[in-house]
């Protein structure tokens, strides 16, 4: 594969990754997979920690909307917990 082609692929990947981060940062509530993108922590670990007792130091608060089973996490809370700001 030519160096020029690799450079084009790298630029496209950078563009996609940057647009994904930008989109995540605009949302107030994010999914466990989006938390994984921000923190590097596996989304299953995020979901498991949201099931812990709220007194546990590893607890991550979550929100469920309108009877949905999907959990969401407030972006500001995640940033504060993981010192992302």
Domain map (residue ranges) of the chain: 3-81
Task: Write down the pLDDT at residue 10.
Answer: 86
21 — pLDDT class (breaks 50, 70, 90): low
pLDDT at res. 23: 55
Dihedral sign of CA atoms 74, 76, 77, 81 in order: positive
Residue 14's pLDDT is: 76
**Chain segment 25-73, per-residue pLDDT in tens:** 578 999 999 999 888 999 999 999 999 999 999 999 999 988 888 999 9
Cα dihedral across residues 76, 78, 83, 85: positive or negative = negative
pLDDT grade for 19, boundaries at 50, 70 and 90: low
Answer positive or negative: Cα dihedral of 36, 42, 43, 45: negative
């Amino acid at each position: 594969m030519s160096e020029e082609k690799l450079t084009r692929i790298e630029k496209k990947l950078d563009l996609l990754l940057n647009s994904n981060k930008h989109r995540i940062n605009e949302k107030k509530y994010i999914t466990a997979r989006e938390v994984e993108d921000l923190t590097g922590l596996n989304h299953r670990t995020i979901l498991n920690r949201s099931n812990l007792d709220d007194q546990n130091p590893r607890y991550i608060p979550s929100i469920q909307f309108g009877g949905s089973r999907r959990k969401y996490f407030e972006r500001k809370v995640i940033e504060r917990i993981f010192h992302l700001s």
